[in-house]
Amino acid sequence: MYNRPLSPHITIYAVQISSLASVWHRISGIFLTSFIVFCIIWVQLVVYSNYTRSLFNFNLLNTFWLFFYEILLIIFLLGLFYHTFNGLKQIIWDLGIFLNQKFLFLFFLIVSFFICVIILLLIF
């Protein structure tokens, strides 16, 4: 056939900050929901299993948490605070306030800074 792209608009598409923020908002919501479901399942395993089995599960998960606790905590807090601040931005936009491009970029920088500061304060 012809050696040309099927969709030429895809090759020249420039990602907008608002669409990127919307995609990351959805991804963080999915991540937070799956994390909560995982925690509920883990609690159910510990509560409704017999003592030996729950002790094994607890020791197994303690080994897992020993290595990945800090990383999971950072990722969870990043997702939580990003989802919260981006939700506040959406509420502000629904009120019709700050609907310009300059505020969007400034808000993106402020949110990124506050997320990093809050996570560093909570870790250390």
Q: Which tens digit of pLDDT belongs to each residue from 39-91?
A: 888 788 777 766 655 556 666 666 666 667 778 778 888 889 889 988 988 88
Give the start-to-end residue ranges of the domains of the chain. 25-123
Mean pLDDT over all residues of the chain?
A: 78
Kindly indicate the confidence band of residue 32, based on its pLDDT and cuts at 50, 70 and 90: very high
83 marked ligand binding residue: yes
CATH T-level assignment (fold) for domain 25-123: 3 helical TM bundles of succinate and fumarate reductases (1.20.1300)
Residues 67 and 84: their CA atoms lie apart, in Å, by 27
Predicted TM-score (pTM) of the model is 0.67
HEC string of 27-67 equals HHHHHHHHHHHHHHHHHHHHHHCCHHHHHHHHHHHHHHHHH
